[in-house]
Amino acid sequence: MNTASPPQLRPFKVESLEVWRGESCLFAGLDFAMGPGQAALVTGANGSGKTTLLRVLAGMTLPAAGAVTWSGTPVHRLDPAQRADIAYQGHLDGLKKELTVAENMAFYSTFWNGRQVLEELLEELRLNECRDRQVRYLSAGQRCRAALGCMRLKPAKLWLLDEPLTNLDARGAELVAEWLTAHTNAGGLAVVATHQREHIAQAASVEIEL
Amino acid sequence: MESFLLILRRDFRLAFRRWSELATPLMFFVIVASLFPLAASPDASQLRDSGSAVLWMSALLSSLLALDGLFRADAEDGSMEQLILSPAPLGLIVLAKILAHWVVSGVPLLLLAPLIALSFYLPADALPTLIIALALATPTLSVLAAIGAALTVSARGGGAIIGLLVLPLTAPVLIFGTRATELAVTGESTLGPLYLLAALAVFALSLGPLAASAAVKVAME
């Protein structure tokens, strides 16, 4: 594991984490710590627990043993202000099907107290022509891009991305890699679970194999 | 507070884009109440005796039906994960969702109830009390149903379980609601049961959202 920064500067810590799904142990004794500017790549076969790990890191699932802490607080006990430090994008896109792309993004932008960069984001994501279309009429790839756009609006320090590239085309994957590099260069942290490691590898400084 | 209004506005907009879902529990209310005289007797004095019971039972069941999916759509499309990881307290978000839902489903029910009451030969003097009693009781029912909806958000066939969980808890609302209506029909003072309904509403609205938000968190694990 990367130990470039001294321990006190690494606010995101995972200690002897053990996670079970039903009767089977997915992994045990997972330890790592991350500091500003670091991105971790989580790889592993289907069913190895990548999604569960990210949910545990987001504080939405409790581990069987071990602890995940963000600035010294266990992630499932963060106070609301700290919770906003974490952006999570899982398999579900978090978009309302009956609302348009722009309405969804405007909602999250205000809700997160987020960055007012909606127009630039729509441009960057090539969603301008379908901005006023309801999400239910979008393709899987467009939906995926809109969800990433919502995530980008959150002024979060830690990104937890679960298979962000699955439905994206080559340009979309490039954009995610660019965003990751920009995010870590600005002192952000990220944990990305993916099967397409070639797109993300150069932005990642830590690799976790399950 | 800002996020409270934001959720409220979002849920209103969503409700109007899928208004047919809103109409279902209302139609259910009207149909159940109108089928009753067919099963009982069409005699005016008997209808007047059973009218308030029928009204209250149909209102109770229709509000359960309406609230069943309160959190399910958000859980299924991933919005709930985003709401949990938000800077706003989850209890406040849940309260906003309940309030939005009450405005779009409870208020139309208040407006329909007098029409149903008239078809049961309830005297016109009793109608204002009926509306006030329903206005005080439906928020409590909404909160109770929301707790049930939160607990069953990830359970299949949630609709039936929600009834088992919530219906026993609605007994006080039913007792005081029908009592207020009966007193109004016979022309006596209705303040007692109305105050009790108001007290129940305050109790439910202050603690219920916290319980529902805790249940949502457990269900999302």
Q: Kindly report the average pLDDT of chain A as a whole number.
A: 88
> Residue A1 — pLDDT band, cuts 50, 70, 90?
very low
Give the one of B18, B81, B88 whose C-beta lies nearest to A90's C-beta: B81
pLDDT at position B161 over 90: no
Residue A100: pLDDT over 90 = yes
Residue A77 contacts B where some CB pair is shorter than 8 Å = no
pLDDT of amino acid A7:
56
Chain B interface disruption, residue of A107, A153, A163, most B CBs within 10 A: A107
Region A45-49: what's the mean pLDDT?
A: 88
pLDDT for the residue numbered B43:
86
Q: For residue range A147-200, what is the model confidence (pLDDT) as tens digits?
A: 999 999 999 999 999 999 988 999 999 999 999 999 999 999 999 998 888 888
Distance from the B20 Cα atom to the nearest Cα atom in chain A, whole angstroms? 13
Is A192 in contact with A34 (CB distance < 8 Å)? no
- The set of residues, in sequence order, having a beta carbon less than 8 Å from that of A194 and lying 6+ positions away, is A41, A42, A43, A161, A163, A164, A165, A200
CB contact under 8 A, B89 and A62: no
d(CA B125, CA B120): 14
Which amino acid, residue A144?
C
Contact at CB, B86 and A111, closer than 8 angstroms: yes
pLDDT of residue A188: 92
Closest CA to B93 of B3, B189, B17: B3
Nearest Cα to A141, choosing from A166, A104, A177, A112?
A: A166
pLDDT at B102: 93
Query: Mutual orientation of helices B107-119 and B44-67 as an angle, nearest 10°?
Result: 160
Is the Cβ of A58 closer than 8 Å to some Cβ of chain B? yes
Q: What is the pLDDT of residue B158?
A: 64
Tell which residue, B52, B48, B61, has the closest CA to residue B176: B52
Closest-CA residue of chain A to B14:
A98
Q: Which residues numbered 145-174 in A keep a CB inside 8 Å of some CB on B?
A: 150
**Mind giving me the DSSP string for A78-114?**
--HHHHTTEEEE-SS----TTSBHHHHHHHHHHHTT-
Q: For residue range A6-40, list pLDDT tens digits in order.
A: 555 788 999 999 998 888 898 899 999 999 999 99
Q: Which of A58, A92, A112 sits opposite B78 (nearest CB)?
A: A92
A108 vs B contacts (CB less than 8 Å): 82
- Residue B72 CB coordination number (10 Å): 17
Q: Is A163 left (phi over 0), alpha (psi -120 to 50) or beta?
A: left
Nearest by Cα to A144 from A109, A168, A119, A178:
A168
C-beta of residue B48 within 8 angstroms of C-beta of residue B181: no
In 3-state terms, what secondary structure has residue A15?
strand
pTM equals 0.90
Q: What is the pLDDT of residues B45-96, one digit of tens each?
A: 888 888 889 999 999 999 888 888 889 889 999 999 999 888 889 999 999 9
Nearest CA in chain B to A57: B85
User: What is the percent of chain B where pLDDT is above 70?
Assistant: 99
SS3 A40: strand
Is B17's CB within 8 Å of A98's CB? yes
pLDDT band at A2 (very low <50, low <70, confident <90, very high): very low
Query: Which tens digits make up the pLDDT trace of B82-135?
Result: 998 888 899 999 999 999 999 998 999 999 999 999 989 999 999 999 999 999
- Worst-scoring range by mean pLDDT, A75-79, A111-115, B48-52, B160-164? A111-115
Strands A206-209 and A65-70: unpaired
- Structure confidence at residue B208 (pLDDT): 95
What is the C-alpha separation between A105 and A114, in angstroms, rounded? 10
Query: Which range, of A49-53, A193-197, B211-215, averages the lowest pLDDT?
Result: A193-197
Q: Does A98 touch chain B (CB under 8 A)?
A: yes
Band (B2; pLDDT cuts 50, 70, 90) = confident
User: Where in chain A are the domains?
Assistant: 96-154
Task: Find the mean pLDDT for residues A131-144.
Answer: 93
Cβ-defined contact of A84 to B76 (cutoff 8 Å): no
**Residue B79, amino acid:** S
Counting residues of chain B whose pLDDT is more than 90, the rounded percentage is 61
Q: What is the pLDDT of residue A8?
A: 59
The 8-class DSSP code of residue A100 comes to B
Question: How many Cβ contacts (< 8 angstroms) between chains A and B?
Answer: 73
Partner A, chain B 25-84, Cβ-Cβ below 8 Å: 76-79, 81-82, 84
pLDDT of residue A3: 46
Distance CA B108, CA B22 (A): 10
Please check whether residue B140 is in contact with residue B200, taking contact to mean a CB–CB distance below 8 angstroms: yes
Counting Cβ atoms within 10 Å, is residue A7 exposed (0-12), middle (13-18) or buried (19+)?
A: exposed
Residue B39: name the closest of B21, B58, B26 by CA: B58
What are the residue ranges spanned by the domains of chain B? 2-219
